[in-house]
Amino acid sequence: MSAATRQALEDFLPAEASVHNPIDMIASATPEGYAQALKILLADEGVDMVMVINVKPLVGNPIAVMNEVGKAIPGQKKPVVAVMMATEEFHNEVKERPDLPPVYHFPESAARALAQLSHYASLRRRPLEREIPVFKVDDAAVATLIASSGNGYLPPDKAFQLLELYGIPVARWQVVRGAEAVRQAAEEIGYPVVVKAIAEELVHKSDLGGVKVDLRSPEELEAAVNDIQASMAGADIASDHFLVQEMAKGGHEVIFGITTDPRFGPLLMFGLGGRYVEVFRDVRFGVTPLTPFEASEMIRGIRGYPLLEGVRGEAGADLSILEEVLLRIAQMAQRHPRIQELDINPFLAGAEREDCKALDVRIRVGF
Ligand code: ADP
Ligand code: MG
Query: Which ligand 1 atom minimizes the distance to the CA of 206?
Result: 4
Query: Which ligand 1 atom minimizes the distance to the CA of 248?
Result: 24
pLDDT of residue 201: 85
Nearest by Cα to 253 from 190, 292, 206 = 206
The CA distance from 73 to 43, in Å, is: 11
**Model confidence band, residue 59 (pLDDT cutoffs 50, 70, 90):** low
Which residue's CA lies nearest to atom 6 of ligand 1? Answer: 360
Mean pLDDT of 69-95: 92
pLDDT digits (tens, 9 = 90+) for 313-330: 888 999 999 999 999 999
pLDDT digits (tens, 9 = 90+) for 164-194: 999 999 999 999 999 999 999 999 999 999 9
Mean pLDDT of 241-261: 95
How remote is the CA of residue 274 from the centroid of ligand 1, in Å? 8
pLDDT digits (tens, 9 = 90+) for 21-51: 999 999 888 999 999 999 999 999 999 999 9
Which residue's CA lies nearest to atom 20 of ligand 1? Answer: 359
Residues at CB less than 6 angstroms from ligand 1: 171, 194, 196, 204-206, 211, 213, 245, 247-248, 253, 274-275, 345-346, 359-360
pLDDT of residue 246: 98
Which of 5-19, 119-133, 144-158, 218-232 shows the lowest mean pLDDT across its residues?
119-133
Query: Which ligand 1 atom minimizes the distance to the CA of 193?
Result: 23
How remote is the CA of residue 361 from the centroid of ligand 2, in Å? 7
- Rg over CA atoms, the chain: 30
How remote is the CA of residue 210 from the centroid of ligand 1, in Å? 10
How remote is the CA of residue 276 from the centroid of ligand 1, in Å? 12
Query: Which ligand 1 atom minimizes the distance to the CA of 207?
Result: 4
CB 169 within 8 A of CB 356: yes
How remote is the CA of residue 21 from the centroid of ligand 2, in Å? 45
Q: Which residues contact 323 (CB under 8 A, 6 or more apart)?
A: 292, 295, 296, 299
**Model confidence band, residue 58 (pLDDT cutoffs 50, 70, 90):** low
Ligand nearest to the CA of 213: 1
pLDDT digits (tens, 9 = 90+) for 85-143: 888 899 999 999 999 999 999 999 999 999 999 999 988 888 777 789 999 999 999 99
Report phi then psi at 118, rounded to 5.
-65, -40
Q: Which of 196, 206, 221 most suits a substitution to test ligand 1, by most atoms within 8 Å of the C-beta?
A: 206
Pairing of strands 80-84, 103-104: parallel
How remote is the CA of residue 91 from the centroid of ligand 1, in Å? 62
Class of residue 360 by CB neighbours under 10 A (exposed 0-12, middle 13-18, buried 19+): buried
Q: What is the pTM of this model?
A: 0.77
pLDDT of residue 62: 87
Kind and range of the H or E element at 214?
A: strand 211-215
274 has a pLDDT exceeding 80: no
Domains and CATH numbers, the chain: 3-124 (3.40.50.261), 172-247 (3.30.1490.20), 252-365 (3.30.470.20)
How remote is the CA of residue 346 from the centroid of ligand 1, in Å? 7
pLDDT of residue 191: 97
pLDDT digits (tens, 9 = 90+) for 203-239: 889 999 999 999 999 999 999 999 999 999 999 998 8
The CA distance from 69 to 83, in Å, is: 12
Which residue's CA lies nearest to atom 7 of ligand 1? Answer: 360
pLDDT digits (tens, 9 = 90+) for 283-300: 999 999 999 999 999 999
Mean pLDDT of 6-16: 96
Query: Which ligand 1 atom minimizes the distance to the CA of 205?
Result: 3
